[in-house]
Structure 1
Amino acid sequence: MVVVEDQELTLSPDDYSLLTDLYQLTMTACYVGEALDQTPASFELVVRRLPEHFGYLIAMGLAQVLDYLEKFRFGQKQIQALRSTGVFAHAPERFWSLLAEARFTGDVWAVPEGTVVFANEPLLRVEAPLWQAQVIETYLLNTINYQTLIATRAARLRDVAGPVATLYEFGTRRAFGPQASLWAARAALAAGLDATSNVLAALKLGRKPVGTMAHSLVMALAATEGSEADAFDAFHRYFPGAPLLIDTYDTIAAAKQLAHRLQNGDTHLAGVRIDSGDLVSLSRQVRQLLPEVPIFASGDLDEFKIAELKATGACIDGYGLGTQLVTGPPVNGVYKLVEINGIPVMKESTGKVTYPGRKQIFRCLEGGKVRQDYLGLIEEEVEIRKEGGEGKVGQAKEIRPLMQQMMKQGQPVEPPETLAAIAHRTARSVASLPADTCRVKQPAPVPVELSAALQALIQKTLRH
């Protein structure tokens, strides 16, 4: 057989069903053979441990999960491709008819995008026939894990930089592939960044793309037209007043030249960007020379470096955020079976324990601040409210269930939220946290207590 490689490797909704790990499909074939494929099952997606120095996560990626589930299909082309592998030579024939008729018919419960969650709390639960709940695992983890990572980093960056600073997402060239660059831009905007340089992402999301220029333009025009000043003039002929990158040669010399031109009324300027060097010293000097011009900084910046820049008196109004935003230690979410045909189940492996049963997160707030969370069973709200006790004198106390039904029998319950609405929820969620939980380093965790009923179910379910 001649194998023709597809060099394009682009993703379309027709291929959603095949963007999975092989074992999802081999398990499905086994479920069919054992007559378990239609058995009701519940899976929950949780993060057992937060990345280092993270005091919380911002849930993100749900919109793409719901879109995927709505469009989930196995067309004849996809089925034939699977048959051609030979892997399924001994699979039951009904496996193929199951795929041909496949639609997601289950329910999805999740915390809304932009909500703060902590370790071992379910971001999402799928209740569906076993094979459906199983086969979608890979795509759900890919979507939720990556966007949750980017959203959490973006929220931390916004919290550190402050509400006034301008924050731009510049990470496309460092993201883990073209699709990831679109998801990263979306997650960053939904978690509080102002704009993205990714033109496709911006246009798809109804936003205006942003950016300045690269050093190559300055070098090319300076070499062919005479000087750095000539390069700036040429750029402003086509983009009047646009921000300029001023550190190609001598940052201070460029700032002095621009200050002179501004004083003479020869130009106007929306901002300058510094991409290298001692940002504290350079930004202070540029501020003296260009007191009314916004100063942007870029160059492998993260929340730790921004905190340091602010603490040491840098004069910076905005930041371009790329590599450190869209990469970094992963969010290791897992997707585990918690109930099968009404029977609670749990994983007992050392270091990888999961909790049984369908669960709800109950958030306890006092005076608008998160006091602690209770992880309990879905039917426990009344008991949790009693367990939570009374608030401090003079402070209103509220216990709020976080997981909401997002999909019923394969159909979304509500239309998709806007990025603005999600960004507003992100800001409110972070603002509700204790200050020491938002620390950039060594944050203090918010207590997450297991309800008495959940603890009892764990003991009942344990096999060892």
Structure 2
Amino acid sequence: MVTFPNRDGIDKEQLTLCAADYSLLTDLYQLTMAACYTGEGVEQRRASFELFVRRLPENFGYLIAMGLEQVLEYLTNFRFSSAQIEALQKTGIFAHVRENFWTLLAQGCFTGDVWAVPEGTAIFANEPLLRVEAPLWQAQLVETYLLNTINYQTLIATKAARLRDVAGESATLLEFGTRRAFSPQGALWAARAALAGGLNATSNVLAALQLGEQPSGTMAHALVMAMSAMTGSEEQAFTAFHRHFPGAPLLIDTYDTIAAAKQLAAKIKAGEMELSGVRLDSGDLVSLSKQVRSLLPHVSILASGDLDEWEIAKLQAAGAEIDGYGLGTRLVTGAPVNGVYKLVEIDNIPVMKQSTSKVSYPGRKQIFRSWVGGQVQTDTLALADESHVSGSSLLQLVVQNGERLQPPASLQEIRGRTGVSVASLPLETRRLDAPVGVEVGISPRLGELILKTKKETTETQRT
């Protein structure tokens, strides 16, 4: 194997990630902006950035906030090693920055505050999932990583919640997306977000064990084909697998689905086999599932094969006899959640972006949610120091002066919160096609601040 020298303290052999790499997993402009702030002597000014989504993905009526735990772990480990600083210096990009920038990186860590909605909470467009209040250089540098984990996990958790909502509470939903996720790291985050969003289990062994869960899966066509070729029959392949994994679900559509179901029915009737489930991965799932049900009335039927919430809804409407679903490609990929991270206040001065179709609201904000009969009625976006707005405040202080204020929530707790949150939404918001989001209003004080900031910004640009 050809290897390259580990110069500058940066591993050249593998593009893998560990906690020690977190500080460098950023876009270059975060570092150049931090260096500029330092050179101008404003790096310690107090800044507030909010992470929010301007528009929901098409046909999404809500999003489920997810990824906060990985954000907090990142902030806890945010450091620059001497080797990383040396590597940055050797790029030549920072040749003109002041020496105190390197001192800042060498001695710095995250010392700010973080406000966030709990994972598993339904949110809507323009509502901050989290707010970072910290010295300007810190709040700036953490942007890339925060967007990466929040955007992706929020997408997966939302899709998982929609799948659970469509399939119903009794359906078994398994995450099978590791081979289609965008990276090994993405596969781990996808598994976590899927479970937190409402799925029962994941086939990703590492993710399951790290999360304290039991991995779950069936078998592949390869085993059936290999064992059939060597033993002479599909029936012998099933027998061999059950010899080592008694009762495990079997994949029965490698050759002839109905013939396989008949063979298994005969073995069950003869008392030669106990079978917990079968999986269908191809063909007309409606017709096949009905035929298999007639042959194996007491065996759970799992379906897989590029399924998503729309396909499950179609299968249910057609009367498919399916008890559970394996979700892969369409769960861990798809239209992105385009979360953004924008400065809203610097040195107690509210600021806002006014670019066409990319407006951001000024000032530190809070979300107030009102319910009627246990159902979400309205949300109000208000300034963080407002106390007269009706409803419950969603953003909670989770980090203060760089220190976490509460232990991590369990996966079961987040999954439960997701279920309750989705159930509290109006049916028109939960539907798959042309959903209608919950109304998000703006408090009078925030409205006044928006107008005032626009006017002051316009006047400043003219002078």
Q: CA deviation at 1:445?
A: 1.2
- In 2, the alpha carbon distance for the partners of 1:98 and 1:379 equals 32
- In 1, the alpha carbon distance for the partners of 2:304 and 2:413 equals 28
CA displacement, residues 24-45 of structure 1 (integer Å, 9 cap, x when unaligned): 0000000001101000000000
TM-score (norm 2): 0.96
Structure 1 match to 2:461: none
Q: 2:113 aligns with which of 107, 110, 113?
A: 107
Alignment of 1:164-243 (within 5 A): 164-243=170-249
Contact 2:6/2:12 (CA < 8 Å) preserved in 1? no
Alignment of 1:361-380 (within 5 A): 361-380=367-386
Structure 2 match to 1:74: 80
| Pairing 1:408–2:400 present | yes
- In 2, the alpha carbon distance for the partners of 1:278 and 1:30 equals 61
Q: CA deviation at 1:81?
A: 1.0
Structure 1 match to 2:327: 321
Q: 1:457 aligns with which of 449, 457, 460?
A: 449
Contact 1:362/1:381 (CA < 8 Å) preserved in 2? no
CA displacement, residues 345-397 of structure 1 (integer Å, 9 cap, x when unaligned): 00000000000000000001111100010001012231x22xxxxxxxxxxxx
Whichever residue aligns with residue 452 of structure 1, its letter is P
Structure 2 match to 1:245: 251
CA displacement, residues 258-317 of structure 1 (integer Å, 9 cap, x when unaligned): 011111111010100000000000000000000000000000000000000000100000
Q: CA deviation at 1:7?
A: 3.2
Q: CA deviation at 1:341?
A: 0.1
CA displacement, residues 307-329 of structure 1 (integer Å, 9 cap, x when unaligned): 00000100000000000000000
- In 2, the alpha carbon distance for the partners of 1:30 and 1:8 equals 32
Q: CA deviation at 1:84?
A: 1.2
- In 2, the alpha carbon distance for the partners of 1:357 and 1:368 equals 30
- In 1, the alpha carbon distance for the partners of 2:437 and 2:156 equals 20
Partner SS, residue 295 of structure 1: strand
- In 2, the alpha carbon distance for the partners of 1:405 and 1:35 equals 29
- In 1, the alpha carbon distance for the partners of 2:425 and 2:259 equals 45
Whichever residue aligns with residue 22 of structure 1, its letter is L
- In 1, the alpha carbon distance for the partners of 2:208 and 2:378 equals 37
TM-score (norm 1): 0.96
Contact 2:121/2:421 (CA < 8 Å) preserved in 1? yes
Contact 1:246/1:273 (CA < 8 Å) preserved in 2? yes
CA displacement, residues 216-262 of structure 1 (integer Å, 9 cap, x when unaligned): 11000101111100100110111111100000001001001101111
Whichever residue aligns with residue 314 of structure 2, its letter is E
Alignment of 1:57-72 (within 5 A): 57-72=63-78
| Pairing 1:448–2:440 present | yes
Q: 1:427 to 1:2 in 2, by over 3 A?
A: closer
| Pairing 1:35–2:41 present | yes
Unaligned 5+ runs, structure 1: 386-398
- In 1, the alpha carbon distance for the partners of 2:217 and 2:322 equals 17
Alignment of 1:426-441 (within 5 A): 426-441=418-433
| Pairing 1:55–2:61 present | yes
Whichever residue aligns with residue 413 of structure 1, its letter is L
Whichever residue aligns with residue 400 of structure 1, its letter is S
Partner SS, residue 296 of structure 1: strand
Contact 1:359/1:375 (CA < 8 Å) preserved in 2? yes
Partner SS, residue 381 of structure 1: coil
Structure 1 match to 2:278: 272
Q: 1:307 aligns with which of 309, 313, 332?
A: 313
- In 2, the alpha carbon distance for the partners of 1:186 and 1:407 equals 22
Q: CA deviation at 1:99?
A: 0.3
Contact 1:381/1:401 (CA < 8 Å) preserved in 2? no
Structure 2 match to 1:417: 409
Q: 1:291 aligns with which of 294, 297, 302?
A: 297
Q: CA deviation at 1:102?
A: 1.2
Structure 1 match to 2:128: 122
* Identical counterparts, % of pairs: 68
Partner SS, residue 78 of structure 1: helix
- In 1, the alpha carbon distance for the partners of 2:236 and 2:132 equals 60
Structure 2 match to 1:139: 145
Q: 2:355 aligns with which of 328, 331, 349?
A: 349
Whichever residue aligns with residue 234 of structure 1, its letter is A
Q: CA deviation at 1:441?
A: 1.0
Structure 2 match to 1:148: 154
Q: 1:94 aligns with which of 100, 117, 134?
A: 100
Runs in 1 of length 4+ with deviation above 2 angstroms? 1-5
Contact 1:48/1:332 (CA < 8 Å) preserved in 2? yes
- In 1, the alpha carbon distance for the partners of 2:323 and 2:5 equals 58
Q: CA deviation at 1:8?
A: 1.3
Partner SS, residue 181 of structure 2: coil
- In 1, the alpha carbon distance for the partners of 2:364 and 2:34 equals 22
Contact 2:54/2:125 (CA < 8 Å) preserved in 1? yes
Contact 1:363/1:400 (CA < 8 Å) preserved in 2? yes
Contact 1:191/1:423 (CA < 8 Å) preserved in 2? yes
Contact 1:105/1:410 (CA < 8 Å) preserved in 2? yes
- RMSD between aligned alpha carbons? 1.1
Structure 1 match to 2:345: 339
Q: CA deviation at 1:3?
A: 8.9
- Report the count of equivalent residues: 450
Whichever residue aligns with residue 437 of structure 1, its letter is T
Whichever residue aligns with residue 454 of structure 1, its letter is L
Whichever residue aligns with residue 449 of structure 1, its letter is G
Partner SS, residue 406 of structure 1: strand
Contact 2:5/2:12 (CA < 8 Å) preserved in 1? no
